[in-house]
Amino acid sequence: MIGDKKVLFSGMQATGTLTLGNYLGALKNWVTLSDEYECFYSVVDMHSITVRQDPATLRKRARALLTLYIAAGLDPEKNCIYYQSHVSGHAELMWILNCFTYMGELNRMTQFKDKAAKHADNINAGLFTYPVLMAADILLYQADVVPVGIDQMQHLEITRDIAIRFNNIYGDVFTIPEAYIGKTGAKIMSLQDPGKKMSKSDENPNGSIYLMDDPDTVIRKFKRAVTDSVGCVRYSDEQPGIKNLLDIYCACTGKTPAEAEKEFDGRGYGEFKMAVGEAVVDVLKPLQQRVEDLNRDKAYIDGIIRDNARKADYYATKTLRKVQKKVGFPERIR
């Protein structure tokens, strides 16, 4: 708890270009949580270097992501928006937690197995201990809730296991975090393959809508979106392409699937796809405008980066000192 509020932590990586899936599935929902919780939203750049990155590109993308958090509506005065690499407590707590995490546990992580297969030439120790850094992120702020996608649930589970293990030895040190599964955290699928999640690392750019795509590009991608031969707009698992388009349409307009089905009853897929494209453009346009405005105000963003790093560091250090004392590190002399 901070004051009378529960603490929320989440983070995103600045690798790749954020997609509509990231926005509708995560970022948009984060905005609705900031009144209820004391929120920490990190740009987790330390996680990003588990895979080789071009330094200039990583730096640029990290800044773009941080800006996007704000453009999406997260008030940086209320929400602690910061770079993970600016708060050294993440790495320091991670080291300690490493000593409370078993190789066998990490070996079971499906994301590690996937990434190791994908980057067979660079299976580094950071890729292996990635979940421990994530545990450190969360536990450092004594987070009560963590909004995560289904693909990160296993990492949240191991975070809980590590925290419980630590608490069993040293007493109540860490808050045990819970997953926050949003109500409308729509899982957006690829426009080209509705069996696959819309991903920033998709090789086929037509499958993903990038948040900075211009209107023409957005419309063109929706025109090409994969549908089916059923020929009617229905929200059904048997029509995954149409279902995904309905999810997108509803997330953008606030309508329910039933309302949308009625709206497009008896109308063709072509017309429906155009409407979805336009609804997306209506959401992206103001977002892109805010990004542009923020980019013009370098000093403002710099101030946010500096102040929020300090704020995050304050809470992080509080937990870290407690943990260091528990494990037997000598007290600092001032």
Q: For the CB of residue 49, give the shortest distance to ligand TRP in the complex, in Å.
A: 13
Which ranges of 78-209 does DSSP label H, i.e. alpha helix?
A: 89-98, 103-107, 110-118, 125-140, 153-170
Look up residue 277 and give its two tokens.
Answer: 């494209």
Among 20, 27, 39, 44, binds ligand TRP (CB under 6 A): 44
Look up residue 303 and give its two tokens.
Answer: 């101030």
Who's near 144: CB < 8 A, 6+ residues apart? 1, 6, 7, 8, 37, 175, 177, 178
Q: In what side-by-side order are the strands of the sheet with 145-147?
A: 80-83, 37-43, 6-12, 145-147, 178-180
Q: For the CB of residue 70, give the shortest distance to ligand TRP in the complex, in Å.
A: 18
Per annotation, catalytic residue among 6, 187, 200, 311: 200
Rank residues 7 and 12 by Cβ distance to ligand TRP and give the closer one: 12
Rank residues 196 and 224 by Cβ distance to ligand TRP and give the closer one: 196
Per annotation, catalytic residue among 28, 197, 243, 273: 197
Per annotation, catalytic residue among 6, 28, 60, 115: 115
How far is it, in rounded angstroms, from Cα 228 to Cα 268? 12
Rank residues 132 and 283 by Cβ distance to ligand TRP and give the closer one: 132
Look up residue 250 and give its two tokens.
Answer: 């509803």
Binding of residue 9 to ligand TRP (CB under 6 A): yes
Footprint (CB under 6 A) of ligand TRP, residues 142-161: 146, 148, 152
Active site residue 326: no
Q: For the CB of residue 127, give the shortest distance to ligand TRP in the complex, in Å.
A: 12
Helix (H, G, I), strand (E, B) or coil at 163: helix
Residues that bind ligand TRP (CB under 6 A): 9-13, 44, 47, 134, 137-138, 146, 148, 152
